[in-house]
Amino acid sequence: MCGIVGYVGRRQAAPILVDGLGRLEYRGYDSAGIAVQNGHGVEVRKLAGRVGALKVEVTRTPLIGTSGIAHTRWATHGAPTTRNAHPHVDCRERIAVVHNGIIENADALRAALERAGHRFRTDTDTETLAHLIEDAPGATLEERVAAAIAAVVGTYGLAVLSADDPGKVVVARQGSPVLLGIGDGEFFVASDAAAVLAHTRSVVYLDDGDLAVLTPDRYHVTDADAHVQLRDVSDIAWDLEAIELGGYPHFMLKEICEQRETVQSTLRGRLLFADGTARLNGLNLPPETCAGINRIVIVACGTSWHAGLVGRHLIEELARVPVVVEYASEYRYGRQPPRPGTLAIAISQSGETADTLEAMRAARAAGCRVVGIVNVVGSTIAREADGGIYLHAGPEIGVASTKAFTSQIAALGLLGLYLGRQRGLSLEAGRAFACRLAQLPALVGQALALEPEVVAIAETFATARNALYLGRGVNFPVALEGALKLKEISYLHAEGYPAAEMKHGPIALIDADMPVVFVAPRDEVYPKVLSNMQEVKARGGRIIAVTTDGAGTEGLNALADHRLCVPATAPLLSPVVTTVPLQLLAYHIAVRRGCDVDRPRSAPGGSGSVPQSAVGGEDRGRAGGSGHPPAPGGGGFQGRRSHPPAGRR
Ligand code: M6R
């Protein structure tokens, strides 16, 4: 949950670095710091608190220099104090390091360095890097960094500055994303494209084992074997507006309200109505491979896992393949016997969640073909998967994942349709489902219009202390997701349950103080859900029902204290629509409770989660993507656009 920015060029580095940090702040935000090469040495400013405070400090006592590095931190090793904030320096304060990731052998390295006379000032694992580089052999900073990281076990995305090598930033990647921004007479480093977008759209994604050297005139990249590499330059296809509030009070609300467009963007160019199928160019699953699939395992975490649960219904129904959905964190440590014919699907907004990545690798080691459903272009899961589907939902800045969820379900619908048509789904059924998918953006727009009603309900329930979310079938995952959203951003205890399970224990909790949210669109389990509502009503529970418009809702009307009517769609796709009011409800309750919705406390993953350990692989990402239409002909994990080298390398 940390962010890195670096700059080398001809402009003053500090304002560029602080601005870049501000754009990464959603990734980690308990402390921040900056180091600038000032012509004499390396000058550091850092503090516990937010980037705004650092900006004030740097304005009060300016840092002068044209190369620098900066960091925003979410504490893992060591308390979130000024002392532990990055950058970290060596004994002589000649070298400064910013680092994402975890140095696993930090304790052993620290003990050895202390025995050798090094003085440590912080509790962090990162500080060992500064002292290692201080002692490392080599004539240049890059040689010393290479020698130092050879002693490290763990993960890192790091940027290093040295007083003895002015006008240079050295970068290394192992298991934590780092990219270079390519400017004209200037270069940038960042853990996320958002940090450089104000200056350049051209980026180079580093691979694991890469070491890059940046000076104002050139950059070069060497791989783990010290061979110079010419990496592709990719375009960032989204605009600065995508990472700005644009008049909304919070990114979460902005991202909820964008869903009509983001679901459209996921579907755009991918529906083949005449053939009743989907065009998924990057999926890399030819018909003969589809025919050989006898089992699917979906691995994911959090909201993405909930999307996977919806995906199970979609794929089993359309493609008639058994699907299991596993928490990635459990799957990766489980025993995975080889199962020929199993397709693994890794779902991740960020494409960097460590558990999902490791689960994907475990699946591959067990002989599975692996595909990704990923939002962030060029992310590690996208690069390591055999193929996949990009969501094209645009950057998700709010920690609470919203638009990624609806786009994930849309993408799973496309995948189910594609697999189904390869495996016996009729042309007629395929066409009908394609039409239903195409209607989703408009239906999401209608669901968003419920906001004023949701606000009124939020007023009533903002003081509740607990909430229960119930749903059945394909809407049980929506109940889980509604509860997760509420607890994540409002700190209210909320649980999601299959509605029929309530009577097996949780029913004891129900009284007038326990709001119960039912996800009850009119589908085949609707009558069953009504009888679950009666059980709640009999115990004095207050019911909020998300249901569908139209006739046949009299029974529900008599039971529910509040109704939110979403438009009807195919039952399998209803989660895309029923989720929307629950996102809005969580948001408005959190706002009423005075919570910082975009920066909830203890945000370990976030939809934009940075990995604790993630390892990149072969570069297979598509350029740009999010928020913009895919290239004609679909879009997906097919090759990234390459550009001729910008500047000298
Ligand atoms: O980036 P990912 O989709 O892999 O992230 C997985 C979860 O950490 C994420 O969905 C998390 O549950 C959200 N913050 C929930 O809103």
The better pLDDT of the pair 626, 216 is held by 216
**pLDDT band, residue 553 (cuts 50/70/90):** confident
Q: What local confidence, expressed as pLDDT, does residue 554 receive?
A: 80
Q: Which pLDDT tens digit goes with each residue over 211-255? A: 999 999 999 999 999 999 998 899 988 888 888 899 999 999 999
Specify the CATH class of 251-592 in words: alpha beta
Task: Report pLDDT digits (tens) over 304-362.
Answer: 999 999 999 999 999 999 999 999 999 999 998 888 899 999 999 999 999 999 999 99
**Can you give the residue ranges of every domain in the chain?**
3-236, 251-592
- Extended beta strands in 1-155, E state: 3-8, 31-37, 42-48, 67-73, 88-89, 95-100
Host H or E run for residue 559: helix 554-559
Cα(215) to ligand 1 centroid in Å equals 36
CA–CA distances in Å: residue 545 to residues 253, 275, 522, 555, 566: 22, 38, 11, 12, 10
- What is the position in ligand 1's atom list of the atom closest to the CA of 609? 1
pLDDT digit string, tens, across residues 434-478: 999 999 999 999 999 999 999 999 999 999 999 999 999 999 999
Ligand 1 atom at shortest distance from the alpha carbon of 404: 3
Quick check: CB of 348 below 6 Å from ligand 1?
yes
Give percent of the chain with pLDDT exceeding 70: 92
Length of the chain: 649
Res. 636: pLDDT tops 60: no
Residue 446, judged by CB atoms within 10 A of its CB (0-12, 13-18, 19+), counts as middle
Helices of type H across 332-397:
354-365, 380-384
For residue 25, what pLDDT is reported? 76
CA of 278 to the centre of ligand 1 (A): 26
Query: What number is the average pLDDT over the span 598-608?
Result: 58
| Token pair recorded at residue 80 | 């979130």
- Residue 585, pLDDT above cutoff 80: yes
For ligand 1, say whether the CB of 357 is within 6 Å of any of its atoms. no
Q: Is residue 303 in contact with ligand 1, taking CB distance under 6 Å?
A: yes
- The CATH architecture annotation of domain 3-236 reads 4-Layer Sandwich (3.60)
Site to substitute for ligand 1 among 325, 484, 607, 610, most atoms within 8 A of C-beta: 607
Q: Band the pLDDT of 607: cuts 50, 70, 90.
A: very low
Distance 609 CA to ligand 1 centre (A): 7
**Tokens standing for 549?**
């418009």
Q: Chain-wide mean pLDDT for the chain? A: 90
Q: Which of 26-40, 430-444, 592-606 has the lowest mean pLDDT?
A: 592-606
Task: Write down the pTM of the prediction.
Answer: 0.85
Residue 520 CA to ligand 1 centre (angstroms): 25
Q: Provide the residue type at 535 as one letter.
A: E
pLDDT at 640: 36
Q: Is the pLDDT of residue 619 over 80?
A: no
**168 has a pLDDT exceeding 60:** yes
Task: With H, G, I as helix, E, B as strand and everything else as coil, classify residue 419.
Answer: helix
Give yes or no for residue 506 having a pLDDT over 50: yes
User: Cα separation of 581 and 568, whole Å?
Assistant: 14
| Closest atom of ligand 1 relative to the 300 alpha carbon | 4
pLDDT of residue 603: 54
What is the distance in A from the centroid of ligand 1 to the CA of 610?
Answer: 10
